[in-house]
Structure 1
Amino acid sequence: MMLKDKVAVIYGAGGAVGGAVAHAFAREGAKLFLTGRNRAAVDALAKEITSAEGSAQAAEVDALDEEAINAHLQSVIDTVGRIDISFNAVGIRNTTLQGVPVVQQALDQFLLPIATYTKSYFLTARAAARRMAEKKSGVIMTVTSTPSRIGIPLMGGVGPAMAAVEALTRNLSAELVPQGIRVVGLRPHGMPESGTIKEVFGLHAKAWGISWDQFHELIASRTHGRRLPTLVEMANVAAFIASDQASAMTGTVVNMSLGSLDD
C-alpha cells in the first residue's frame, strides 16, 4: 500500500472530489481525518470507509475559518502525533459565478472565487506546513482546473482564482521543500460525475443555447481521447502524488486534461 499508516487530512471531504480521494487514500492504507462544513456528508463518508476496514474520523470544519482549521489540526496532532498529507478539495457554488459575461458581472461576483479559493488554500497550507516542518516531512496538495491555463469565455473570476492557486502551489514549494515538505497540485479537466461540474456544464450550456449533453460532447471533443477524466482516475493520481513514490514531484501541477491542454 502506497500510503500505509500515513496521516491525511482532507478538506471538503463531503464533496465528490474529496470523497473520491478519501476512498483512494483509504485503499492505500492512509489514516484519514475528514472535514467539511456539511457534517452529515462527512460522517457518511467516514462510515463508508470504516465499513470497508479503512481508518477515518470525521469533523465539521470550515476551511475558511482559521481558528477552526488550527483547532482541528491540533486535535489530529494530539491524537496521532503528526500530519503527513493535507489535501484541500473545497468548492463553492457556481450558479452566479459562471455563464455570465465579465462585463455583466458585479465586482463581488468576480472577486468571490478568487478570495475564497486563495484564502482557503493559504490557511490550510500554512497550518499544515507549520506542523509538518517539525517532522521535516509532508505533502500539501491543491486542486485546480484547466481554466487556470486556457482562456475560456464566461468563466468570471474562476479562471483567475485557479491561476492564483497554482501560483501559490509553486511559491509554497519553493519555500517549503528545504523543510522536507512537498507541494503539488492536480489539474483535472471537467469530471461530469461531480455535482459541481454538472452544475457548471449546465450554466455554460444554457448561455450557449445548447443542451447539457451537447456541451459535454463539445468539451470532450477537445481531448485526445474524446472523453473527460473520471473521479476515480483523478483520485488514483492523487494517491500516487501523495506517496513517497512521487518524492521528486513538487512545485508543479499535474496535468489531467487528457491532452486538451498541452504542456
Structure 2
Amino acid sequence: MLLAGRNAIIYGGGGSVGGAIARAFGRAGARVFLTGRTLATLDAVAADVRASGGAADTAAVDALDEHAVDAHAAAVVAAAGRIDISVNVIADADVQGTPMIDMTVEDYLAPVVQSVRSKFITSRATARHMVRDGRGGVLLFFGGAGDPPRDFHLGGLQAGFQAVEHMRRQLATELGPHGVRVLTLRTGGLPDSIPADAPALEAIEKSITGQTLLGRAATLADVGDVAVFAASDLARTMTGTAVNVTCGAMLD
C-alpha cells in the first residue's frame, strides 16, 4: 500500500472531494484525520474508511480558525507521532452567476479571502510539525487556475484559485529544503460532485465535459487515486506544481 504508515489530515474531509480522497487514502494504508465543521458528515466518511479496512479519526475544526487548527494539529502529533500529509479541500464561499459590475465587494472577495486564509492557516500549522519532525511531508491543495469559461460569471472564484497557486509556489520554495512537497490537484470540474437537484445540472455537466479533449470529465474516484499518487513516494520528485486532472480541459 502506497501510504502505509502515513498520517494524513484532510481539511474538508466530510465533503464530496474530501471524502473521496479520505477513502482512497484509507485503502492505500494511511490513517486519516478528518476535519470540518459538521461531525455527522465527517463520521459518515470515517465509517466508509473503516469499512474498507482503513483507520479514521474525526474532529470538528473550523479551518478559518487558526487557534483551532493549531490545537488540532498538535493533538494529531500527540496521538499519532507525526503528520505526513496535509490536504485542504475546503469549499470556497463563492457567488456565481452575477456579472462583476453588479457584485458587492464582499461577494467578490469572499472566495479569495476564505481560500487564502484557510490554506495559509492549515499549511502553516501542519508544515511546522513536518519541519520539526525532519522527515518531510506533503501539502496538497485542490482547485483550478485555468482560463474561466467565457459564458460563465464566476465572481472571485478564479482570483482565489490564482492566489492559492502563488501560495503553493512560495510554500514549495520555502519548504523544499526541509523535504516538504507542495502540490495542487487541478480539475476542470467534477460532474459527480454536483448535487442531483442542482439547477441546470445537465447543462453544467455538458459544459464541463465539452471542454475536455477526452470527451469525459474526471470523477471523484479519479481525484482520490491521483491524490494517493501525489502524496506517495512515487511522486517524490514533484513539488511546486499542479497535477493536471482535467482530461485535457486545461493545457500546460
Please confirm whether the aligned pair reaches a TM-score higher than 0.5, indicating the same fold. Answer: yes
Mapped pair 1:188 → 2:177: no
For the residues of structure 1 that align with 2:197 and 2:218, how far apart are their CA atoms?
Answer: 14
2:116 aligned residue: 118
Matched, 1:105 2:103: yes
The match for 2:239 among 250, 258, 263 is: 250
Q: Structure 2 counterpart of 1:77, which letter?
A: V
What is residue 207 of structure 1 aligned with on the other side?
Answer: none
Matches of residues 106-255 of structure 1 in structure 2 within 5 Å? 106-136=104-134, 137-145=136-144, 148-152=145-149, 153-195=152-194, 199=198, 202=199, 211-255=200-244
Equivalent residue for 2:16?
A: 16
Partner of 1:62: 62
Q: How far does residue 174 in structure 1 lie from its aligned partner after superposition?
A: 0.4
* CA distance in 1 between partners of 2:14 and 2:208 (Å): 26
Cα distance in 2 for residues equivalent to 1:240 and 1:71: 29
Q: Percent of pairs identical after alignment?
A: 40
**In the aligned structure 2, how far is the partner of 1:193 from the partner of 1:214?**
13
Between 114-123 and 150-159, the greater mean CA deviation after superposition:
150-159
AA in 1 matched with 2:78: D
Contact map agreement 2:137 2:181 (CA 8 A) in 1: yes
Supply the distance in 2 between the matched residues of 1:168 and 1:197 (Cα, whole angstroms): 33
Q: Deviations over 1:164-200 (max 9, x none)?
A: 111111110000010111111110111011137985x
CA-to-aligned-CA distance 1:45-82 (integer Å, 9 cap, x gap): 11221122211011100011101101111111111110
Amino acid aligned to 2:236: S
**SS of 2:22 mapped into structure 1:** helix
Question: Contact 1:190–1:197 at 8 Å: present in 2 too?
Answer: no
Letter in structure 2 aligned against 1:141:
L
TM-score, reference length from structure 2: 0.95
Report if aligned partners of 1:192, 1:198 keep a CA contact under 8 Å in 2. no
Mapping of 1:90-101 within 5 angstroms? 90-94=90-94, 97-101=95-99
Could you tell me how far 1:222 is from its partner in structure 2? 1.7
**Separation (CA, whole Å) in 1 of partners of 2:28 and 2:148:** 36
Contact 2:7-2:82 at 8 Å conserved across structures: yes
Show CA shifts across 1:9-37 (max 9, x none).
00000100000000000000001111110
Would the alpha carbon gap of residues 212 and 13 (structure 1) be closer, same or farther in structure 2, given more than 3 Å must change? Answer: same
**Cα deviation, residue 214, structure 1:** 2.9
Counterpart residue type for residue 174 of structure 2: E
Partner SS, residue 46 of structure 2 = helix
Distance in 1 between residues matched to 2:197 and 2:251, nearest whole Å? 24
The CA deviation at 1:43 is: 1.2
Structure 2 residue aligned with 1:208: none
Alignment partner, residue 206 of structure 1: none
Deviation at 1:220, TM superposition (A): 1.1
1:100-128 CA distance string (max 9 Å, x none): 11111000000000000000000000111
Question: Does the CA-based 8 Å contact 1:191-1:197 persist in structure 2?
Answer: no
1:44 aligns with 2:51: no
Letter in 2 for 1:75: A
Return the letter of the residue paired with 1:160: A
- Structure 2: 5+ residue stretches without partners: none
SS at match of 1:193: helix
Structure 1 stretches of 4+ moved >3 Å: 195-199
